[in-house]
Amino acid sequence: MLIEKIKEKANHYFETYREIRQYLHAHPELSYQEFNTSALVKAHLEKLGISYSVMAGTGVIGILQGKPSNRVIALRADMDALPIQEENDVPYKSTVSGVMHACGHDVHTTCLLGAAQILSEMKEEWEGTVKLIFQPGEEKNPGGASLLIKEGVLENPAPQSIYGLHVHPNLETGRLSFRAGKAMASADELYITVRGKGGHAATPHLTTDTILTASQIVVALQQVVSRNNNPFSPSVLSICSMQGGYTTNVIPSEVKMMGTFRAMDETWRFEAHKRITEIVEGIATSSGADIDLKIDVGYPTVYNDPSVTAVARTLGEAFIGEAHVEESELRMGAEDFGYYSQKIPGCFFRLGTGNKARGINAGVHTPKFDIDEEAIRIGMGMMAYLGVRS
């Protein structure tokens, strides 16, 4: 009966929340600039009679009280968009040039708002406190989660567990997926500048060949993963940008590179940082070049607590049917939900939003990304059910 009541409410309010999602999609805001989104969330919580506080500039933390109990759980949604020009031809297409909700955070925010309404109307049927975390800046270092934690989001009251969902275009609408243990990789940004004496390409002996030095660094860095990492522990190092030179016959005095390093093991992650530094500095020294290396430490691994995830999966199977619940694949993508799951037991799961029959299957972070909006019913309902039963 509890599940049916939640589903009835999700169905009843579906059109309302679909409109909210479409509004958010049409009015995206970049990381740490979610002023209008934050205002919408606050206004909606006020309408529902839910008290809230503001953290990290645009973050909104709602507090819902059920029947008296020491139970405290947190439900999290991120709010920021990406610097991508949308290419979809839909009525709710982004109205902001060069900014798009290409990772589904409009959906996440909508689902949590919907869950908040359901939970607020069922206060007599659940116990304890539900903390609603509407988070800024998931897409940009240092990650809004880290800022919220520093400001005390996991205190007063302290949640015993935290849950978050993420859209998954490769999973058909009507399905959920879960994975216990290591789920997503850490992500660190690499910035390398090689400097030396530039000069005429016909007299390389009078120069410091920054292009050659940079090329040697790119090749040598592949050893970090291929020869230093345990092959049974996934890890990736990719140099994704090399900028230097402007013509055919001049060796430049400077070459800049950027890349990413990802790992599934926190100990190996920081061992790798040392190895990266040794390789870069060693090659620069042997080439007579100067080097600037910055490793911008980003999000930690997302670790789903096995017990909490088992509970969430069981609830998911009850809510949507066991046949519609899958095992999430291991992903080398990163998520700042990892900051929460490093502090308290957490579960980060996937909401199916794809519909291949309708051509809705473009990947996240692409200009064509969109969702089958029927997924909103399931997302808001499942988040509410976690609030009631987890």
Encode pLDDT of 214-257 as tens digits: 999 999 999 999 999 999 999 999 999 999 999 999 999 999 99
pLDDT higher than threshold 90 for residue 14: yes
Same domain, 141 and 224: no
- The confidence band for 193, taking pLDDT boundaries of 50, 70 and 90, is very high
Same domain, 319 and 376: yes
Domain boundary (256, 275, 296) is at 296
The count of domains in the chain is 2
Same domain, 93 and 55: yes
Same domain, 287 and 354: no
Domain boundary (271, 296, 321) is at 296
Averaged confidence pLDDT in the chain: 97
Region 92-118: mean pLDDT is 98
Instruction: Give the torsion through C-alpha atoms of 337, 339, 345, 350, to 10 deg.
Output: 10
Angle at 66 between CA 62 and CA 68, to 5 degrees: 120
Domain boundary (296, 328, 345) is at 296
Q: Specify the pLDDT at position 346.
A: 98
Same domain, 148 and 6: yes
- The confidence band for 390, taking pLDDT boundaries of 50, 70 and 90, is confident
Same domain, 240 and 383: no
Q: Specify the pLDDT at position 13.
A: 98
- For the entire predicted model, the pTM comes to 0.94
| Cα maximum dimension of the chain | 82
Here the CATH number for the domain that contains residue 47 is: 3.40.630.10
First to last CA, the chain: 17
> Which pLDDT tens digit goes with each residue over 250-280?
999 999 999 999 999 999 999 999 999 999 9
- Reading the block at residue 339, the tokens are 């900051």
Give strand ranges (E) for 17-154: 51-55, 59-65, 67-78, 127-135
Region 22-36: mean pLDDT is 98
Same domain, 178 and 309: yes
Same domain, 190 and 284: yes
Same domain, 101 and 179: yes
Match 């940079």 to its residue by tokens.
214
Same domain, 257 and 309: no
- The confidence band for 1, taking pLDDT boundaries of 50, 70 and 90, is confident
Q: Which domain holds residue 369?
A: 2-184+301-389
Same domain, 87 and 161: yes
Do the bridges between strand 250-251 and strand 199-200 make them parallel or antiparallel, or are there none, so unpaired? antiparallel
User: Which ranges in the chain belong to alpha helices (H)?
Assistant: 2-12, 14-26, 35-48, 105-120, 144-150, 210-228, 266-287, 306-320, 337-343, 375-389
Q: At what angle do helices 35-48 and 105-120 cross, to 10 degrees?
A: 10
Ramachandran sector of residue 346 (left: φ over 0; alpha: ψ -120 to 50; beta: rest): beta
Same domain, 15 and 61: yes
Region 295-299: mean pLDDT is 96
